[in-house]
Chain A
Amino acid sequence: MDVGRSSQPSSMKNRMSVERKSERELVVTRTINAPPRIVFEAWTKAELFQRWWVPKSLGLTLLSCELDVRVGGAYRLVFRHPAAPEPMAFHGRYLEVTPPSRLVWTNEEAGGNGQITTVTLEERAGQTLLVVHDLYPSKEALDEDIGSGSMSWNDETFNQLDELLGSATNME
C-alpha cells in the first residue's frame, strides 16, 4: 500500500535551523509532520518523550523518566553514558503548560544559573512548526555553557557526552 509515496521529498526532512538569537538566547526551529495535538503529546507523555529526547545514536541509556506535566510540576530524567561512572540527571519544573501550543520549563542541573526552555507549537497546514527557545539568565551563563564544552544542559558531567559528540565533528 502507498508504495509510491513511501519516500518523502527531501525538502520535507531536516528543515531545521539553530540560531544564537542574542547574547543569551538559542533558538531551534523544525517542522514536524503531524498536528500540534500529536506533537504536544510526544513532549508531555513520558512513555513517548523518553523515546526521542535522549537519542540512542548518542550512546545514552535512559534509566528513568518522570514528567509531572502541570504548572509547578517537576520532571526528572536519569541516564547513563558509557564513559561516565555515575548516572546523570536533568531536572527542573514546568512553568507553563498550555496544550497543545506551549510548554515552558526550568533547567536546574546547574543550580540557579540554568536556562528557561520555551517550546511553542504552531499549526501550519496540518503540520507543526516547532520552536525551542532557550533563554539564559545572562550572556555569561550561555558563554560559560559554550566555554565548558557542555551541551545545553549546563552540567559538567556532560563533558563526557560532549566528547562523544566531538569525535564526530572534531576535524583537527
Chain B
Amino acid sequence: MVQYTGAHLDASFAALSDATRRGVLEQLGRADASITDLAEKFRMTLTGMKKHVGVLEQAGLVTTEKIGRVRNCKLGLRRLEEEAMWIERYRQLWEARFDELDKVVEGSKRKERVDGRRKK
C-alpha cells in the first residue's frame, strides 16, 4: 500500500549497497551512537564515518543531532515511514478529487452535446 517515490528508493538502495553502512544501521538499531563511537567500532577514520552517515542521512535512514560537541546518530526509519504515510494520504486526497472531477467533466461533456444539438 505504501509507495515510495523513485528518487527515494534510489537513495535508499544506494545507501544500503555498502556493507559498512548496513552495519551502521544494525548498530543504531541496538542503540544510538555518536559518529566517534561508530568510527571506533568500524575501525574507520572520523571523516570516513562522517561520509557514510551522510549518505544514510540523505536517504532518510538515519537522523543526526548535534549535542554539544558530539554528533549523535539514530535510526531515521520513523521519518521515512512518516513521509510514506503522508504521501499516501496526499495520494488519497488527489484520488478522491479526481474521481469527483471525472464526474464534473462528464457533466460538462453531456451539457455540451445537448447544447450543440440545440444549436443545429
Tell me which of B20-28, B38-46, B67-75, B97-105 binds A. B97-105
Interface size class of A (residues with CB under 8 A): 35 or more
Give the contacts of A17-33 with B (CB-CB under 8 A): 18-22, 26, 28, 30, 32-33
Interface size class of B (residues with CB under 8 A): 20 to 34
Instruction: Pick from B3, B94, B103: contact of A132, CB below 8 A.
Output: B94
Q: Does A104 contact B (CB under 8 A)?
A: no
Q: Does A41 contact B (CB under 8 A)?
A: yes
Q: Does A14 contact B (CB under 8 A)?
A: yes
Taking the closest CB of chain B, its distance from the CB of A20, in whole angstroms, is 4
The answer to whether B104 touches A20, judged by C-beta atoms less than 8 angstroms apart, is no
Task: For A171, give the chain B residue with the smallest CB separation.
Answer: B1
The answer to whether A19 touches B105, judged by C-beta atoms less than 8 angstroms apart, is no
| Residue among B6, B99, B101, B103 with the highest chain A CB neighbour number at 10 A | B101
Taking the closest CB of chain A, its distance from the CB of B107, in whole angstroms, is 8
Once bound together, how far apart are the Cα atoms of A28 and B112, in whole Å? 28
The answer to whether A53 touches B97, judged by C-beta atoms less than 8 angstroms apart, is yes
